[in-house]
């Protein structure tokens, strides 16, 4: 099973390769794109991108020195016809550099790249929301070689899709970054913290009233307050526990490590670490964490010994008690982090 991890700077490639990553992915916003379209909408992330073709060339070259591959992200919410033409040109440049694959989040772009693009692998982004075999076969017909499953999908759903469409490769989320809503249906953008952050963080104050106009009873007020508190706590866990880390430096937040045996059995060939905008140290520790889990799984398989090992990596039973942050809650692992 391959580890897929993000980069946003040239200097991150070598440290992540040494940490044990197999595949890297990144975005780029060339200056000519910004000048022509007056936006940074090459991909869904407004930040955490490379800014020049020379940086992209260096990333691909350094990765090749370590025997690693690089994928380029093209997963904005939508593109104009002129932007699609520019993306085809970008695809050719990337392929000529030795790029491995394009991660595509738009059905129209996927089809165009298959028809007019270079001879390069096409990966269907999680934003395309593949949840059944029919959808995966459509993506294959449009040119995809790999499907990246969305975050909120069950292990049994993934196994069913993979069994019905064995011609495709599959990738699943394993660590970091949770989405409050269904990201494939989201048309918002993640703003920097100084501008309010992601819109789904719901940074507003609520006021409640009864439909019949009567004042809220104290018991009703207490229940509503408790519900608001629980929701804010859930948001905190969903957004990586405030980017806190364990004493060993391993990141807390969304986690699917306990599901590695089931993912492997289902035929999932790659696991994805999210967080292009994260600090390098967080990315390194994320790769080390997933590598340790995969290496132990190769020895212990799906035994209880593996589960005990992973829970110890996460900080013990206290940090894995039933809770909000498990990607694949059917494993029974529960929370992937403990607040405080």
pLDDT in tens, 168-178: 999 999 998 87
The mean predicted confidence, pLDDT, of the chain is 88
> DSSP labels for 212-247?
TSPPPPHHHHHHHHHHHHHHHHHHHHHTGGGG-B-T
- Phi and psi, residue 49, nearest 5°: -110, 155
Domain ranges for the chain: 2-184+251-314, 202-237
pLDDT in tens, 38-81: 888 888 877 789 999 999 999 999 999 999 999 999 998 789 99
Q: Using 50, 70 and 90 to split pLDDT, how confident is the model at 336?
A: very low
Structure confidence at residue 11 (pLDDT): 97
Least confident residue range of 28-42, 173-187, 191-205: 191-205
Distance (Å, rounded) from C-alpha 49 to C-alpha 40? 9
The CA-CA-CA angle for residues 193, 196, 200, to 5°, reads 105
Structure confidence at residue 186 (pLDDT): 73
> What are the angstrom distances between the C-alpha of 137 and each of 6, 124, 132?
27, 11, 9
Q: Using 50, 70 and 90 to split pLDDT, how confident is the model at 146?
A: very high
User: What percent of the chain is modeled with pLDDT above 70?
Assistant: 89
Does residue 26 sit in helix, strand or coil?
strand
Tokens of 30: 């060339």
Residue 19 has pLDDT above 70, yes or no: yes
Structure confidence at residue 196 (pLDDT): 65
Tokens of 14: 């070598």
Please enumerate in sequence order all residues whose Cβ is within 8 A of that of 314, keeping only pairs 6 or more positions apart, or say none: 246, 250, 255, 257, 320, 336, 337
Distance (Å, rounded) from C-alpha 61 to C-alpha 57? 6
Distance (Å, rounded) from C-alpha 196 to C-alpha 213? 33
Structure confidence at residue 334 (pLDDT): 52
- Phi and psi, residue 215, nearest 5°: -65, 150
How does DSSP classify residue 146?
E
Structure confidence at residue 337 (pLDDT): 44
Tokens of 306: 């593996």
- Higher-scoring residue by pLDDT: 17, 245: 17
- Higher-scoring residue by pLDDT: 231, 175: 175
Q: Using 50, 70 and 90 to split pLDDT, how confident is the model at 338?
A: very low
Please enumerate in sequence order all residues whose Cβ is within 8 A of that of 135, keeping only pairs 6 or more positions apart, or say none: 128, 129, 161
Q: What is the mean pLDDT of residues 196-219?
A: 83
Q: What is the mean pLDDT of residues 251-272?
A: 92
Number of other CB atoms surrounding residue 265 within 10 Å = 13
Distance (Å, rounded) from C-alpha 27 to C-alpha 17? 18
Q: Using 50, 70 and 90 to split pLDDT, how confident is the model at 319?
A: low
Cβ–Cβ < 8 Å for 57, 97: yes
Q: Using 50, 70 and 90 to split pLDDT, how confident is the model at 301?
A: low
The CATH topology of domain 2-184+251-314 is TIM Barrel (3.20.20)
Q: Using 50, 70 and 90 to split pLDDT, how confident is the model at 97?
A: very high
């Amino acid at each position: 099973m391959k580890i897929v991890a993000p980069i946003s700077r040239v200097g991150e490639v070598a440290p992540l390769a040494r940490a044990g990553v197999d595949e890297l992915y990144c975005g780029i916003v060339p200056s000519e794109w910004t000048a022509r379209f007056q936006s940074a909408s090459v991909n869904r992330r407004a930040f955490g991108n490379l800014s020049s073709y020379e940086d992209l060339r260096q990333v691909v070259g350094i990765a090749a020195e370590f025997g690693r591959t690089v994928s380029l992200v093209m997963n904005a919410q939508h593109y104009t016809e002129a932007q699609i033409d520019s993306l085809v040109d970008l695809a050719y440049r990337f392929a000529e550099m030795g790029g491995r694959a394009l991660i595509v989040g738009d059905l129209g772009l996927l089809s165009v790249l298959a028809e007019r693009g270079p001879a390069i692998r096409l990966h269907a982004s999680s934003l395309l929301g593949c949840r059944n075999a029919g959808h995966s076969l459509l993506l294959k017909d449009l040119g995809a070689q790999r499907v990246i499953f969305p975050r909120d999908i069950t292990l049994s759903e993934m196994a069913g899709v993979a069994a019905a469409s064995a011609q495709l490769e599959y990738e699943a989320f394993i660590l970091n970054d949770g989405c409050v809503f269904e990201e494939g249906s989201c048309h918002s953008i993640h703003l920097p913290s100084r501008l309010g952050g992601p819109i789904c963080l719901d940074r507003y104050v609520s006021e409640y009233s009864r439909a019949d106009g009567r004042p809220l009873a104290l018991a009703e007020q207490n229940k509503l307050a408790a519900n608001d508190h629980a929701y804010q706590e859930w948001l905190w866990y969903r957004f990586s526990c405030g980017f806190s880390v364990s004493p060993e430096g391993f990141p807390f937040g969304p986690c699917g490590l306990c599901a590695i045996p089931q993912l492997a059995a289902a035929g999932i060939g790659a696991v994805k670490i999210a967080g292009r905008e994260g600090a390098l140290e967080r990315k390194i520790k994320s790769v080390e964490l997933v590598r340790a889990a995969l290496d132990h799984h190769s020895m212990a398989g799906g035994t209880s010994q593996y589960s005990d090992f992973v829970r110890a990596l996460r900080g013990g039973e206290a940090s894995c008690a039933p809770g909000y942050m498990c990607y694949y809650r059917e494993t029974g692992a529960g929370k992937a982090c403990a607040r405080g």
